[in-house]
Chain A
């Protein structure tokens, strides 16, 4: 069964460093998402991406964050200058796009645990 994959599974970085989190969405999906989950808290929406551009972003997704689809398969989240409060699990999700957002299933990847020291 097709699944969303993410690399690395765990990333440790120093405050102020740049990190790039990578995701390979399900191959025929058209909509891609990043969410984050701070330890013990709820899953929070960061950004959605469609047709090579950002469709929607939350207040959390400030100028320090960017997303890119550098080729036909990868979808990346870059944090330019990490802060301590960026420590969280980051989930990538994708959906097919044949239906609207209200009716289409989003499939989540296994996540990347980011630890900022």
Chain B
């Protein structure tokens, strides 16, 4: 089952903050965040692992709440380059197999000057 992302879309002014949520009805072992610009491939941002750790990448950070089976992506002081669609991909099995990622429907982020 696919994770549910919210909100579906966000419009911000440059410099504002945003939070994108990803929740699952299944127990999660990891959440993988990607950003995709129109017509391009998804670009990897970060992986959040079971254990609730928080990771950061420049002004983008994320958290993973195991109990709530959800992850949140935080974009601080957004820049024009942050515009795009953000997808969370989940892994619900911790084995070493070649499991594919199950992606949410994405959150469209538009940053205006």
Q: Which among B32, B43, B98, B103 is the interface contact of A49 at CB below 8 angstroms? A: B98
Given the complex, which residues of B lie within 8 Å of A110, measured CB to CB? 40-41
B73-113 CB mask vs A (1 if < 8 Å, else 0) is 00000000000000101010111111111111110000000
Q: Assess whether A87 is interfacial by the CB under 8 Å rule.
A: no
Interface size class of A (residues with CB under 8 A): 20 to 34
Q: Which of A42, A47, A50, A55 contacts B103 (CB 8 A)?
A: A42
Please report the number of residue pairs spanning A and B whose Cβ atoms sit closer than 8 angstroms: 81
CB atoms of A100 and B96 under 8 A apart: yes
Contact across chains for A105 and B32 when beta carbons are under 8 A apart: yes
A12 CB-CB contact with B under 8 Å:
no
**CB <8 Å contact, B105 and A41:** yes
Mark contacts of B12-49 with chain A using CB atoms, 8 A cut-off: 1 yes-contact digit, 0 otherwise: 00000000000000000110101010001111100101
Known contacts A101-B93, A102-B29: does B98 contact A33 (CB below 8 Å)?
yes
B94 lies within 8 A of A102 (CB): yes
* Interface size band for B: 20 to 34
Q: Does A75 contact B (CB under 8 A)?
A: no
* A103 contacts across to B, CB distance below 8 A: 30, 47, 49
18 contacts between A and B (CB under 8 A): A35-B100, A42-B87, A43-B101, A45-B103, A48-B97, A56-B97, A56-B98, A56-B99, A100-B97, A101-B95, A102-B50, A102-B93, A102-B99, A105-B44, A107-B44, A108-B34, A108-B41, A110-B40
Binding site for B on A (CB under 8 A): 31, 33, 35, 41-50, 55-56, 58, 91, 100-103, 105-111
State the B residues within 8 Å of A (CB): 2, 29-30, 32, 34, 36, 40-44, 47, 49-50, 87, 89, 91, 93-106
